[in-house]
Chain A
Amino acid sequence: MDILSGSYSRDEGEMAGLFQVLWGVEGGGFRAPAALNGSDGQPLIIQDRDDLPRICTRPTAVDLDGDGKLDIVSGNFGGTFAVFLGEGEGRISPTHRFLMDEDGSPLAVEGHSDPFFVDWDADGDLDLVSGSASGGALLFLNRGSKKEPKFGPSTTLLPAVESSPDDVFGDDWVHGPQEDTRVWVDDVNGDGKLDVLIGDCVTLTWVAAGLEEAEAKKKLDEWSERMRKAQDEFQAAKGNPTDEQQEKYNEECQKLWKEREGIVRQDSTGFVWVIYRK
């Protein structure tokens, strides 16, 4: 077994997320991650004029066209799905095409596309499931065939969520996957039905040490009012502030955010959710 990963971006040259492979070792274990090259010997990247489709790659290896060769389909920051066809024996074409909808436009989700292929409707071909920056999971049914996939419009498999609140403390309010979802579909509980695993990203707000919740809420309300006032005063400069006004505003903001750390602390994390099919 080998492990394939995407990445945010390489350091050198134009921004582009490389594909990294941890090759499995005979007898167990893995080699250190190494950039995956295309069949031209160069690191495989999504070639595009814009940055967004090139970065935040999220690849999956799958025989998309049923020719017996593993292909790579990758999500990206922009939300589209780039296909690199396999040439056999581990070789991957250095050029890509984007998955298109029936109208000839690129299939897309709202950022951070996250392809996973599974025969969701049990008709013998592979359907596309994807998470997205806005959360939830979308399903694109394959209306073509195993060898010539054609993906229809998306339907909501699991709805996206509202943005994380920053004035509700703790994590009791988190009842489902939040933003930037990553999906995996499998029969997790062994009942013969496909379940969905979803990873997410969420910012949690906690009361600072030494404060009671009610006190923290009151202080946070006062803080928000002061921040609003500072912003209103700055905006009164009608988008053309003097250097002095800009500096004063920056200092005020820094001071306010420092004070906020004494009221609440925030941390970002990600959970893994399981949602079983009934």
Chain B
Amino acid sequence: MFKNLIPLCLVAASSALAEDTSMNPEFTAPVRLKAAREIIRVEDPGYASPCWADMDGDGRKDLVVGQFAGGKMKVYRNLGEGKLAEGKWLEAEGKTAEVPGVW
């Protein structure tokens, strides 16, 4: 246990990709991610915490977004071609997972 610890509101992956101009990176303008054509937003009071990991084992990394309210996380399956499916609350033991103490 604790070997394949991956993401969520928190864990980090050490993906080392081929990079070059790291100190003066040029970025595109920020874009709000959408899922099922709707802008993704978390419940009040906010504090969205994204992670990018393959949650369903289909070889594509999915989006998981943690939030403050209820300590819940929503999973947005990656449909490919830049599209994300409608979000579904992450479940644990058959119920919506809620991290105690929030965040």
Contact = CB atoms under 8 A, between A and B. Distances in A.
Interface residue tally on B, bucketed by range: 35 or more
Contacts of B13: 118, 186
Contacts, number: 254
Interface in B16-69: 16-20, 22-23, 25-33, 39-53, 55, 57, 61, 63, 65-68
Most A CB atoms within 10 A — which of B11, B25, B51, B100?
Answer: B11
A116 B99 contact: no
A194 B17 contact: yes
Most A CB atoms within 10 A — which of B17, B20, B66?
Answer: B17
Given A117-B14, A197-B52, A5 B92 contact: no
B79 interface: no
Interface string B72-103: 01000000001000000011110101111111
Most B CB atoms within 10 A — which of A20, A57, A120, A180?
Answer: A20
24 contacts: A4-B7, A10-B101, A17-B103, A22-B90, A30-B90, A33-B100, A58-B9, A59-B10, A60-B12, A61-B11, A89-B1, A89-B2, A90-B3, A118-B15, A119-B15, A120-B19, A121-B23, A126-B14, A180-B47, A192-B18, A196-B27, A199-B47, A203-B46, A278-B28
Contact of B97 (A8, A32, A182, A194): A32
A47 interface: no
Contacts of A180: 46-47
A176 B10 contact: no
Interface residues of A, number: 85
Contacts of B68: 8
A200 B46 contact: yes
Leading 5 A-B pairs by shortest Cβ distance: A270-B48, A199-B48, A90-B2, A7-B101, A60-B12
A254 B12 CA distance: 45
A272 B92 contact: no
B47 A201 contact: yes
Most A CB atoms within 10 A — which of B43, B73, B102?
Answer: B102
Nearest to B12: A60
A245 B8 CA distance: 50
A275 B25 CA distance: 11
Given A7-B101, A59-B10, A122 B31 contact: no
A122 B70 CA distance: 38
A201 B33 CA distance: 15
B22 A120 contact: yes
Interface in A260-275: 267-275
A277 to B, nearest CB: 6
Given A4-B8, A4-B11, A30-B91, A186 B52 contact: yes
B6 A3 contact: yes
